A = this chain, B = another copy of it.
């Protein structure tokens, strides 16, 4: 689609720009960017496809009178100034009123991320950003109609690199914004080809210099990626807390030799030892109740990876998650013991490092109740649950009070091309997000702030538990 067609697609719905039809048209259009053969998308962070979705968001937002800002880590903010002027606006609760910095009220942020996994699904992230754009437009229309004066401004955010497939760690842009990751460290992170985040941002023209809007509260809607809502035929899930997660960096160091000429007894095959580690990670879940722990190895690179060379090295990343931090700790200790035993048996070295530890963290009860009220007003059903997946909302929950909601996923599958959510479920989510965002700009949830952070956690405390 060229620029003219792009603009035509956006303009077609200007007659009723916030309608359900306009939302579905926009959502299914964005799903064509980086589309794969099997109805998925491939839009890893800072690829040409990521640039295309960003360009679409900028064009759409500007066509609907949002002001677009891009910060130094590439987060995009489509801002709506709802509070007219310094003298009329309510100052942020923690800012001394009357100072020059309070000329604009802080922002309620709503959004998610437009990047995807390689061969990922159309819904993960993109749904939350596009739902937020339409929710913001509807909130503005309602305020314009009612003449009501909101307390805060509203911005839709597309967080940089939530997926982390190309640049690790994941949830990068929101974690920098929330103060959990250091900006310069993240700009220096490189992909497997040695390209840095800073270089890749510049390449697609999203190395921004804008000051991001100051957040007061945060809301996000996302697909569940599990099957609880589908199984119970519930419309909306609201997240009470995130799971405890940690990763293990496992480096198996054997010795390279000839697959033909070297006797079996003389080998130190890194891949054979690594295979035992992979099985240990998979089977450690059997030490606990069903589904109390999930574990996996997603990244696994063999060197030198030649058909006639016995591998010298396997570098892998294991991922452990549970609602109960003690279960992850017990599993991790069990794995370290088993891995040491494997290293001894194969007479090779296996180095294991803990990293990317993310504490279990409650979302504010006031936010859960706010979502429940909004869902009830819409005549829909809701249940509380936990999130096993990491989300931008989990990072933001360290900085400001937030609300995290889910819509159902068919078969519970995600991070793959057959990820699916129905149009009806997506539209229900847009309605609920609109209602929640409307309450947030009126000041709801902002009172649980305490100093610079909300009462749940301090950023300093959270940061000490996150190792990159």
Contacts and interface: CB of A to CB of B under 8 A. Distances in A.
Contacts of A290: 265
Interface stretch (A65-73, A250-258, A360-368): A250-258
Contact of A299 (B245, B302, B411): B302
A137 interface: no
Interface string A398-441: 00000000000001111111000000000000000000000000
Contacts of A159: none
Nearest to A267: B296
A17 interface: no
Nearest to A292: B264
Contacts of A31: none
Interface stretch (A77-85, A196-204, A304-312): A304-312
Contacts of A294: 259-260, 262-264
A151 interface: no
Contacts of A390: 260, 308
As for how many copies of this chain the complex holds, the number is 2
26 contacts: A117-B304, A117-B308, A117-B309, A118-B304, A118-B306, A118-B309, A163-B308, A168-B307, A169-B307, A170-B307, A256-B416, A258-B415, A259-B415, A261-B387, A263-B291, A264-B291, A264-B294, A266-B411, A272-B279, A272-B282, A275-B276, A297-B311, A298-B307, A298-B311, A299-B306, A308-B390
A69 to B, nearest CB: 28
A316 to B, nearest CB: 9
A388 interface: yes
Place the interface of chain A in its size category: 35 or more
Contacts of A117: 256, 304, 306, 308-309
Closest 3 A-B residue pairs measured CB to CB? Answer: A225-B261, A165-B306, A275-B275
A224 to B, nearest CB: 8
A306 B163 contact: yes
A305 B262 CA distance: 30
Given A272-B278, A298-B309, 12 more contacts: A117-B256, A117-B304, A118-B303, A165-B306, A168-B307, A256-B415, A257-B414, A258-B389, A258-B415, A269-B282, A274-B275, A298-B306
